[in-house]
Amino acid sequence: MTNEREGLRVAVFGATSAIAQAALRLWAARGAELFLVARDRERLDRIAADLALRGARRVEAFVADLDDSSVLGRVLEAMDAALGVPDVALVAFGTLGDQTRAARDPEAARRTLTTNFVSPAVLLTALAARFEKAGAGCLAAITSVAGDRGRASNYVYGAAKGGLQTFLEGLRHRFAGTGVRVLDIRPGPVDTPMTAHMPKSGLPWASAERVAADILRAVERGRSVLYTPWFWRWIMLVLRHLPQPLFHRLRL
């Protein structure tokens, strides 16, 4: 990677998400060069201006809907012009969707699966070719603890995130023994605008800032899988190994 005193080159896809913004603020404070992609031009421009004030060495922004695979060529050409192959690429876009609707509406299910699995996987495929040629860098994507085991309350979203986890595992296997690293980021529930409608009792909720700090540490330390906060590794270990009859008695 680039010498940290010179600033990392970081590309973030889904830069308007709360977790992405919190991570970007940390990278900006370290003098990183940043390339941002998101759908909302007004929000993207505000974020870019803020990051420049926070110390980013350079900030470039590109407006695109990453669910539309036809734009990927233009997005990556803009990334190449801004950074070349970045030291870190973070895929941070996604949506919770509506499980009740998705369970009954195939089109709603398709949208949730596309945004949370198909589109990130297509983007990562394109990024992987560049990282492979460079022989270095970190490909990171935000999945979720929801992908660890299918649950009635969110199995469409969970299936998409579980698929992305498997995709990342395959990429990691592909790049084993090379300079390219692959990081699977699995947050538990995070208090963000995307989850504002959800009750905050019962489960331990994390802030976007806590998750972002964990992401930067995981990137720096070369981690492969990050559960954030840390205790979700052990919670999900227990849930994954519950016998099916007992698991089915729980309403999770």
93 and 68 Cβ atoms separated by less than 8 Å: no
DSSP secondary-structure letter at 30?
T
Q: Which two tokens stand for residue 114?
A: 């596309």
Respond yes or no: is residue 227 known to be catalytic. Answer: no
Contacts 24+ apart (CB under 8 A), 2-5: 2/87, 4/30, 5/31
Is the Cβ–Cβ distance between 85 and 131 less than 8 Å? yes
- Which tokens hold the place of 106? 């195939």
- One-letter amino acid at 248 equals H
Give the 3-state secondary structure of residue 199. Answer: coil
d(CA 105, CA 90): 31
What's CA 73's distance to the chain center, in Å?
20
Residue (of 125, 123, 228) closest to 175 by Cα position: 125
Catalytic residue from among 157, 167, 175, 227: 157
Cα distance between residue 137 and residue 41, in whole Å = 28
Give the amino acid at 21. Answer: Q
Token pair of 95 as six digits: 């949506």
What are the C-alpha distances in Å from 188 to residues 44, 162, 195?
Answer: 26, 14, 12
Which residues are annotated as catalytic?
157
